[in-house]
């Protein structure tokens, strides 16, 4: 009997692992269980599909089932893993198209079950017309509702990046969109001053924004949502999208006794091995180490899921690979507004015990005289005395956000802002001013560090 790898979850982490394991071990029997209708799709593309920027859901599918079949990977759509039996090295599987349940044996098990959207336990939260957004099937359901039911008023609950991208999509569809969040700012992963800039940008595209308002329930009529109730008002809604964040989908792993950490994610080592024998895990369902704070974090991003899946697959396939951890780099776009962050926010830096200085600069994305130059804000968080970069945030317009990559590299390599002032970054008027915003911010931060040293003697 050939050795068998069983993968639970057929998206970024699961299919990367399966493909990579296949490269290393042509002899391995590989079966992937995916409970949805799609595998190897871009969940990140869902807002653009809902908004109509991407016409066809199939365009979000990176690799077809035939692609995997040709490589000897047995991909079973509409098959849900319902139980893991570690002692028996087997997984209970339900065929969602009426084919019953049975146990499937494994030699190696890969858990790539992703995350699940947080649903508030409030009256009406499960009504028709209230959508979470996680898998492609969710995106298809929302777009179908938008096109078929022709809703006029949408309420997005939660102002994280998924909520904001969905708000943009619904604006593009011509809906009257309201966004409500219990916090005083959208995107709590950013500092409040940068959050204010984001709030202005959201209002600028016509979204009604209600901050600092907790949702208390959902009104329904005949089982369909009709309004969202907050402590202060009732917001009529034909459709509601939940953007309250996600949590690692670890229900069956936990039930089997596979160790999870304080964030709720599955604990793995750097090779993506869990603490249970022959069981691997990757993607949104796992916990990561933050390379700046050292703390365990659950940051659900496709960029990590693909890399971790590849690492797990390399190791399962007999090679050696490690995933070092994350620095929390993320970019997003809400209509013309671009938002990016890396490393620690001011709150996270304080929680991690860092004494941080902050430098914020406003500059332009291109040379000021070049058509299309727009304003952008860059914020750096720097460790007092050492001048080491701890985090960075950007809010701007076209060509602003991806500057975060240079900052993420500096952060990853432990650079000080003084060292960063000398970085050899590219310049031409259509791309940046002669002093790139990153260099201007580094200069300002380095001056702050120096002044602080002088002042404190």
Ligand X SMILES: Cc1cc2nc3c(=O)[nH]c(=O)nc-3n(C[C@H](O)[C@H](O)[C@H](O)COP(=O)(O)OP(=O)(O)OC[C@H]3O[C@@H](n4cnc5c(N)ncnc54)[C@H](O)[C@@H]3O)c2cc1C
User: Does residue 11 touch ligand X according to CB under 6 A?
Assistant: yes
User: Does residue 114 touch ligand X according to CB under 6 A?
Assistant: yes
User: Does residue 258 touch ligand X according to CB under 6 A?
Assistant: no
User: Does residue 35 touch ligand X according to CB under 6 A?
Assistant: yes
User: Does residue 343 touch ligand X according to CB under 6 A?
Assistant: no
Q: Of residues 6, 7, 10, 210, which one binds ligand X by CB under 6 A?
A: 10
Q: Of residues 17, 75, 110, 135, which one binds ligand X by CB under 6 A?
A: 135
User: Does residue 163 touch ligand X according to CB under 6 A?
Assistant: no
The partner residues of 247 in beta bridges, in order of sequence, read 116
Q: How far is the CB of 427 from ligand X (least distance, A)?
A: 28
Site for ligand X in 361-420 (CB under 6 A): none
Which is closer to ligand X, CB of 135 or CB of 334? 135
As a whole number of angstroms, the longest Cα–Cα distance in the chain is 75
Site for ligand X in 38-57 (CB under 6 A): 43-44, 46-47
Site for ligand X in 65-84 (CB under 6 A): 80-81
Q: How far is the CB of 355 from ligand X (least distance, A)?
A: 31
User: Does residue 265 touch ligand X according to CB under 6 A?
Assistant: no
Which is closer to ligand X, CB of 59 or CB of 184? 59
Which is closer to ligand X, CB of 78 or CB of 443? 78
User: Does residue 8 touch ligand X according to CB under 6 A?
Assistant: yes
Q: How far apart are CA 323 and CA 334, in angstroms?
A: 31
Which segment (132-140, 181-189, 210-218, 288-296) binds ligand X by CB under 6 A? 132-140
User: Does residue 249 touch ligand X according to CB under 6 A?
Assistant: yes
Which segment (295-303, 350-358, 362-370, 421-429) binds ligand X by CB under 6 A? 295-303
Please identify which residue in the block is written with the tokens 């949590």: 247
User: Does residue 142 touch ligand X according to CB under 6 A?
Assistant: no
Q: How far apart are CA 271 and CA 259, in angstroms?
A: 16
Q: Of residues 134, 268, 293, 315, which one binds ligand X by CB under 6 A?
A: 134
Q: Of residues 6, 110, 133, 401, which one binds ligand X by CB under 6 A?
A: 133
Which residue of the set 29, 37, 44, 261 is catalytic? 44
Answer yes or no: 44 catalytic: yes
Which segment (32-40, 196-204, 218-226, 349-357) binds ligand X by CB under 6 A? 32-40
SS3 labels along the chain:
CCCEEEEECCCHHHHHHHHHHHHHCCCCEEEEEECCCCCCECHHHHHHHHCCCCCCHHHHECCCHHHHHHCCEEEEECEEEEEEECCCCEEEEEECCCCEEEEEECCEEEECCCEEECCCCCCCCCCECEECCCCHHHHHHHHHHHHHCCCCEEEEECCCHHHHHHHHHHHHCCCEEEEEECCCCCCCCCCHHHHHHHHHHHHHCCCEEEECCCEEEEEEECCEEEEEEECCCEEECCEEEECCCEEECCHHHHHHCCCECCCCCECECCCCEECCCCEEECHHHECEEECCCCCEECCCCHHHHHHHHHHHHHHHCCCCCCCCCECCCEEEEECCEEEEEEECCHHHHHHCCCCEEEEEEEEECCCCCCCCCCEEEEEEEEECCCCEEEEEEEEECCCCHHHHHHHHHHHHCCCEHHHHCCCCCCCCCCCCCCCCHHHHHHHHHHHHHHHHHHHHC
Q: Of residues 31, 113, 416, 432, which one binds ligand X by CB under 6 A?
A: 113
Q: How many residues bind ligand X (CB under 6 A)?
A: 34
User: Does residue 34 touch ligand X according to CB under 6 A?
Assistant: yes
Q: Of residues 110, 162, 227, 335, which one binds ligand X by CB under 6 A?
A: 162
Catalytic site residues?
A: 44
The residues binding ligand X (CB under 6 A) are 8-14, 33-36, 43-44, 46-47, 80-81, 112-115, 133-135, 162, 249, 252, 283-284, 300-303, 305
């Amino acid at each position: 009997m050939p050795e068998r790898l069983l993968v639970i979850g057929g998206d970024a982490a699961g299919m990367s692992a399966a493909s990579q394991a296949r490269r290393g071990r042509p002899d391995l029997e590989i079966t992937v269980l995916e409970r949805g209708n799609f595998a190897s799709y871009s969940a990140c593309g869902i807002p653009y599909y809902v908004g109509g920027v991407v016409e066809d859901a199939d365009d979000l599918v990176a690799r077809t089932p035939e692609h995997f079949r040709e490589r000897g990977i047995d991909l079973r759509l509409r098959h849900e893993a319902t139980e893991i039996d570690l002692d028996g090295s087997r997984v209970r599987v339900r065929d969602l198209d009426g084919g019953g349940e049975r146990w499937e044996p494994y030699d190696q098990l890969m858990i790539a079950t992703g995350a699940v959207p947080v649903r508030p336990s409030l009256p009406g939260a499960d009504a028709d017309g209230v959508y979470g957004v996680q898998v492609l099937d969710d995106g298809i359901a929302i777009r179908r509702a938008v096109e078929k039911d022709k809703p006029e008023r949408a309420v997005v609950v939660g102002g994280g990046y998924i909520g904001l991208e969905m708000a943009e999509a619904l604006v593009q569809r011509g809906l009257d969109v309201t966004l409500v969040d219990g916090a005083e700012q959208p995107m709590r992963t950013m500092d409040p001053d940068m959050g204010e800039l984001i709030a202005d940008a959201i209002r600028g595209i016509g979204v009604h924004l209600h901050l600092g308002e907790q949702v208390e329930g959902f009104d329904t009529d005949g089982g369909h949502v009709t309004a969202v109730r907050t402590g202060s008002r009732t917001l009529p809604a034909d459709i509601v999208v939940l953007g309250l964040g996600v949590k690692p989908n670890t229900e069956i792993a936990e039930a089997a006794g596979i160790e999870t950490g304080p964030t709720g994610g599955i604990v793995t080592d750097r090779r993506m091995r869990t603490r249970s024998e022959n069981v691997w895990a990757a993607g949104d369902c796992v916990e990561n180490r933050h390379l700046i704070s050292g703390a365990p974090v659950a940051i659900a991003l496709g960029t990590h899921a693909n890399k971790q899946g590849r690492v797990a697959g390399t190791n399962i396939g007999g090679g050696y690979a490690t995933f070092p951890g994350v620095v929390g780099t993320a970019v997003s776009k809400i209509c013309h507004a671009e938002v990016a962050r890396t490393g620690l926010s001011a709150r996270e830096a304080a929680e991690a015990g860092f004494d941080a200085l902050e430098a914020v600069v406003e500059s332009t994305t291109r040379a000021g005289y070049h058509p299309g130059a727009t304003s952008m804000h860059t914020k750096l968080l720097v460790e007092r005395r050492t001048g080491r970069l701890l985090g960075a945030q950007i809010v701007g317009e076209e060509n602003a956000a991806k500057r975060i990559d240079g900052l993420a590299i500096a952060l990853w390599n432990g650079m000080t802002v003084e060292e960063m002032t000398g970085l050899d970054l590219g310049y031409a008027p259509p791309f940046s001013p002669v002093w790139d915003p990153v260099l201007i911010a580094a200069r300002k931060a380095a001056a702050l560090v120096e002044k602080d040293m002088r002042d404190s003697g």
